[in-house]
């Protein structure tokens, strides 16, 4: 798939998944897309063993193995997470630690992709979490398209995000700009 959305919420069909789906739908106008909700996967935390640096493989056997090649083959990575106490979800954090370490061990395989971050939360901390996602992208050499506004949505209970009317205009415009950048880069 050209664009892959990884949903870092442990709650299936929640607010984060809703927004990531919406964003991917905008990209679907021109690209093939796939969504990967981590809630249904087993992703253990990185053990920091650094065996990947010697072997180019993660030693932990779980669902990460199946996701890594999909992300590496994609050209646009959309990461979504709820705010958990002003941080990203532990689930996404576990995933990104392993993704980042393995990518670095294999010659910066994430480098050159386009990275998009989407954050949902009930009330506070969104921009701090968005900054965490952007720092990850920056470290790993992804290209970050700017946008007309912050890709953050407000909603607490499952489905409440539908009441945040502003976020859909923001995500549509952001996705359109991402497609423009993608084409300017030669679509590769
Ligand atoms: C453990 C935990 C911590 C949370 N911390 C925050 C927070 O610091 N700020 C905030 O606005 N919302 C916080 N929330 C609310 C979630 O971010 C919010 O419900 C979000 O929409 C959940 O997304 P989901 O439906 O995709 O799981 C927290 C929720 C949980 C379960």
For 54-87, write each residue's pLDDT tens digit.
999 999 999 999 999 999 999 999 999 999 999 9
Whether this prediction's pTM lies above 0.75 is answered by yes
CATH number (domain holding residue 155) = 3.40.50.360
> Which residue's CA is minimally distant from atom 25 of ligand 1?
14
Confidence of residue 148 (pLDDT cuts 50, 70, 90): confident
- Residues 74, 114: Cα–Cα separation, whole Å: 9
The total domain count for the chain is 1
Domain that holds residue 149: 3-184
Average predicted confidence (pLDDT) for the chain: 97
Q: How close is the Cα of 98 to the center of ligand 1, in Å?
A: 23
């Amino acid at each position: 798939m050209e664009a892959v959305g990884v949903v870092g919420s442990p709650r299936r069909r929640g607010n984060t998944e809703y927004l990531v789906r919406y964003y991917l739908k905008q990209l679907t106008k021109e690209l093939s897309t796939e969504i990967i909700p981590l809630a249904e996967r087993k992703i253990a935390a990185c053990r920091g063993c650094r065996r990947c640096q010697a072997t180019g493989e993660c030693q932990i056997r779980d669902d990460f193995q199946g996701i890594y090649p999909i992300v590496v083959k994609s050209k646009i990575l959309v990461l979504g997470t709820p705010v958990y106490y002003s941080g990203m979800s532990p689930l996404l954090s576990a995933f990104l630690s392993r993704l980042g370490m393995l990518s670095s061990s294999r010659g910066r395989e994430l480098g050159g992709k386009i990275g998009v971050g989407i954050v949902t939360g009930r009330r506070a901390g969104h921009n701090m979490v968005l900054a965490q996602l952007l720092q990850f992208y920056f470290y790993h050499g992804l290209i970050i398209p700017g946008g007309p506004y912050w890709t953050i949505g407000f909603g607490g209970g499952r489905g409440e995000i539908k009441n945040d009317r502003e976020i859909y205009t923001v995500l549509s415009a952001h996705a359109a700009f991402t497609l423009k950048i993608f084409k300017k880069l030669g679509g590769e």
